[in-house]
């Protein structure tokens, strides 16, 4: 099984390159299932129902998010009716939506997707992501062997710890949130594919997807500045994970980077 996971879609540039390049990538790489983090898709902050529908129409199996999931108020209603849109699973009980979904390949193979958010320097009041992962995996049916974890976290240490914690028990632990692709992709000894951060799908002529002049003014002048998503050529950053669907163990992981012409 070939699983393609694309990192945080940011603003117009990210949406544009995803819509333009994903269909060709799916065909070229013989992708069986696609998962995309979309938490920054709406002008750099949040997700809307209109955008969610556009993404799902591309054949994306599951949409994941993170700390910006509620930036657009309508997401609270949309997520309650769209099970393919996830929010971090370690939000308190009663929060709209879920952080767990099961999609299927064209051949009918089930693929579980678990969306978690880190505590360090992010949301220390959320449930422990490690405990939450344990509970979610304990409840999965035995026939569900392929499981992807999108761990939306700030620190490399927390992400790496999650990779080792789940090694051999999930197919992949893929980091998101920092918008900068890391070069540490590998398959851990137990068969879990890992990367600290997949990177963003957006404009890299920026500061993590935001207009660089506005960000520089905040850093240099120390005054409040409203951030806006950068405009310019987009780059789709993703990873392709080769998974043995019989065991759920990964055989390989490689980074994918496709820029607009």
Q: Which residues are catalytic?
A: 68
Q: Which residues pair with 171 in a beta bridge?
A: none
* Residue tagged 């949406």 (tokens): 15
Quick check: 78 and 99 in contact, CB under 8 A?
A: no
For β-strands 110-117 and 146-152, DSSP reports them as parallel
């Amino acid at each position: 099984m070939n699983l393609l996971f694309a990192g945080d879609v940011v603003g117009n540039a990210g949406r544009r390159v995803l819509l333009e390049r994903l269909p060709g990538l799916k065909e070229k790489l013989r992708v069986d299932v696609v998962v995309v983090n979309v938490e920054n898709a709406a002008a750099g902050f949040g997700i809307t129902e209109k955008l969610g529908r556009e993404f799902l129409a591309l054949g994306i199996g599951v949409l994941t998010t993170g700390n910006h999931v509620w930036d657009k108020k309508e997401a609270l209603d949309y997520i309650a009716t769209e099970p393919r849109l996830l929010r971090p699973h370690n939000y308190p009980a009663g929060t709209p939506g879920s952080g767990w979904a099961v999609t299927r390949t064209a051949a009918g193979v089930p693929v579980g997707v678990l969306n978690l958010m880190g505590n360090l320097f992010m949301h220390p009041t959320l449930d422990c992501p490690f405990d939450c992962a344990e509970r979610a995996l304990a409840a999965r049916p035995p026939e569900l062997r392929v499981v992807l974890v999108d761990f939306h976290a700030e620190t490399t240490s927390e992400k790496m710890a999650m990779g080792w914690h789940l090694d051999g028990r999930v197919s992949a632990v893929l980091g998101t949130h920092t918008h900068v692709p890391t070069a540490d992709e590998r398959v851990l000894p137990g068969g879990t594919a890992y990367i600290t951060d997949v990177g963003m799908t957006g404009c890299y002529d920026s500061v993590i997807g935001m207009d660089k002049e506005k960000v520089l003014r905040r850093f240099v002048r120390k005054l409040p500045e409203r951030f806006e998503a950068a405009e310019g050529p987009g780059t789709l950053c993703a990873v392709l994970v080769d998974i043995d669907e019989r065991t759920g163990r990964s055989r390989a992981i490689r980074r994918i980077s496709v820029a607009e012409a």
